[in-house]
Structure 1
Amino acid sequence: MFKISRTDIIDIGVLPAGIVTFLSYSAFGAILTLIPDWSDHLNLSNKGIFFAAYTIASILIRFISGKASDKYGRTKVIMIGLLIVGISLFLIGQGDSFNKLMLGASIYGIGTGILSPAINAWTIDLGKHNQRGRAVATMYISMEAGIGLGALFAGMYYQDIITRIPQVMYFNALFLGIALLYMFFWQGFSYRKKKA
């Protein structure tokens, strides 16, 4: 009765959402690991100001974006979110001043505020009606794996060499590009499957 197999916590049908979640949240792991040192490098006394700007932007955009995926479709909204997050990572890498870093943080918050609710809704759509817990578990496992591995590899590459932080951000922006390409292919595949 208490034995749990991987089929009890992983829903194969939700893997498209899991892949996008993994690729997009690896950047968050890198940000959590490296932004305090980047803030220090920019002589910011408050290392949490980046996260304050990010959080405020993310909360505010959710008032607008919350129902956008219902109106325009999950995949379209997810692709917009991925594009915005990718741009924000490039801006964070370029953020060699307070204003630039805050701009990057705010745009990152906007991107994640658009992306997160749409991925959550897409996960539920892809999952079986009577197994939504398994669908959500799959998405959260992907998210935690993305954050954890993003943080791990960012720290391993960084090695206290401050000039490597922008490179980590650009690399993570590439991950967002891969996720965006995946969404294009998945959307095309899904469309052809419906027509068949």
Structure 2
Amino acid sequence: MKKVVIASNNAHKVEEIKTALDFGGWEFYTLSDLGVVSDPDEDADTFEGNARIKARAAYEAAGCAALADDSGIEVDALDGAPGVHSARYAGAHASDDENNEKLLAALEGVPDEKRTGRFVSTLVFVDDDGTETVAYGTIEGKIGYAPQGSEGFGYDPLFYPDQFDGARTLAQVSQAEKNAISHRGNALRELKAKLTDKL
């Protein structure tokens, strides 16, 4: 069996990764599953840089293949913010609700046609031998005016993907519907294709 540690303890994220990378003989573990503590400073200024920091740290700590994701939301009217600071937008230990409130406050008075943005996900996979595979995914949409839905996490309740014609947020759809179009889903499909070519 191939052991892969996912550099996250986010249950939503881990389930999405396990479902997408369904290679036979691969077993996925979180850091806590393995009793590994890995909490490096994510001080890069790109999603790829932060994903690499997390993947390398998990690889060293666990001694096996590792996968890390760094993702966030980029809002055009805010010159790409929150970007790499998405998880900490309202402060180091901010809740999803606090981050969403800050984003809505920053967009106060911004008209509908200028509330465009995207979710971005970058995955870095470090194999047993230390080689890296990098994959990217995005999803375009608009930022709403109030949270809608309870299925998602992070900024999902504010984000209306273009695929749904502004009718539903990412928090108003099932996990399966979200995975089919999401930034992380797209990045995972690209990663799976790249790893399949290598296997």
TM-score (norm 2): 0.28
Q: Using CA pairs under 8 Å that are at least 6 residues apart, name the structure with larger relative contact order, 1 or 2.
A: 1
Rg larger in structure: 1
Higher strand share: 2
